[in-house]
Chains A and B, each alone.
Chain A
Amino acid sequence: AQSVAQPEDQVNVAEGNPLTVKCTYSVSGNPYLFWYVQYPNRGLQFLLKYITGDNLVKGSYGFEAEFNKSQTSFHLKKPSALVSDSALYFCATSTAGKGNDMRFGAGTRLTVKP
C-alpha cells in the first residue's frame, strides 16, 4: 500500500528565510505526489503535484517541490518565507484507477516568525 511520511511535526523559520517541509514516500510503481495546505478552520487547498517529468515542480504561492527518486522524497520548498505561509502542510500520494485513493501524511505545522 502506498504511504507518505512527514518526519517533522513542526517547522519554524524566520520571515525571509528559505523553508523546507519534508516528505518521504513509499509507493510501488510510479508515484503520484501532492502537497496541500490547510489554514485554520478551513479545508485543504492544493499547492502542487508531481506526476512525471521534471523533478522540480512549481506550484501556488511561490512554493515548489523536488521529486528525488533515489531518496524517495518530495520536499516542499520556498525561497523566502512569509508570515502568511504559517499553516498546516500535508504531503499526499494517490494511486491510479477509479478509486483515486489519496492518502495523507500526518501533517507539518509551519510557523513563520516576523
Chain B
Amino acid sequence: DTAVSQTPKYLVTQMGNDKSIKCEQNLGHDTMYWYKQDSKKFLKIMFSYNNKELIINETVPNRFSPKSPDKAHLNLHINSLELGDSAVYFCASARSGGANVLTFGAGSRLTVL
C-alpha cells in the first residue's frame, strides 16, 4: 500500500495544453507539498497545504494552481504549459511541526514538447 501516490507517473504533452497531476496520501498527515525538481536535480518547494489551507506559495507562475479537496489529497493543475515546465514534480506529506519528516511520492515526470 503506497503511502504517497502520484498519478500519472509520466506525462508527455504539447505546449499550450492544460494538465493535472494528482496526489494522495494514506498516512494521516495534515500537511502536503508540491516540489519541482529540474534537470539539474535542484529541488524547489512550490506549495504546501495544511488541513486544506494554503500555507506556502512560492514564486510560482499563476499558471500553476494547487487544489486540496481534503487533507489526504493535493492536486496540481497547470495551464498553458511551457517548455520550461518540463521537470519531475514530487508530492510529499508530513505531520505539521518543523521536526517532522517528509514522505515523498515517486514523482511525476512532465515533458512538454
Given A100-B48, A100-B94, A44:B42 Cβ within 8 A: no
Asked whether B99 lies within 8 Å of A46 as measured between CB atoms, the reply is no
Q: Collect the chain B residues with CB atoms within 8 Å of residue A109's CB.
A: 41
Partner of A100, one of B4, B100, B105: B100
Q: Collect the chain A residues with CB atoms within 8 Å of residue B113's CB.
A: none
Partner of A43, one of B40, B94, B104: B104
Asked whether A98 lies within 8 Å of B31 as measured between CB atoms, the reply is yes
Partner of B90, one of A43, A51, A94, A107: A43
Closest to A44 in B: B104
Asked whether B48 lies within 8 Å of A101 as measured between CB atoms, the reply is yes
Asked whether A103 lies within 8 Å of B107 as measured between CB atoms, the reply is no
Q: Collect the chain B residues with CB atoms within 8 Å of residue A36's CB.
A: 102
- A38–B104 alpha-carbon span in the complex (Å): 10
- Which residues of chain B from 42 to 90 have any CB-CB distance to chain A below 8 Å in the complex? 42-43, 45, 48, 50, 55-56, 90
Distance from A102 Cβ to chain B, minimum over Cβ atoms (Å): 6
Partner of A88, one of B31, B41, B104, B105: B41
Q: Collect the chain B residues with CB atoms within 8 Å of residue A95's CB.
A: 98
Q: Mark A36-63, 1 if CB is under 8 A from B, else 0.
A: 1010011111100101000000000000
Closest to A48 in B: B101
Partner of B99, one of A42, A49, A103: A49
Given A43-B106, A43-B107, A51:B99 Cβ within 8 A: yes
Asked whether B55 lies within 8 Å of A98 as measured between CB atoms, the reply is yes
- A31–B48 alpha-carbon span in the complex (Å): 20
Residues of B in contact with A (beta carbons under 8 Å apart): 4, 31, 33, 35, 40-43, 45, 48, 50, 55-56, 90, 92, 94, 96-107
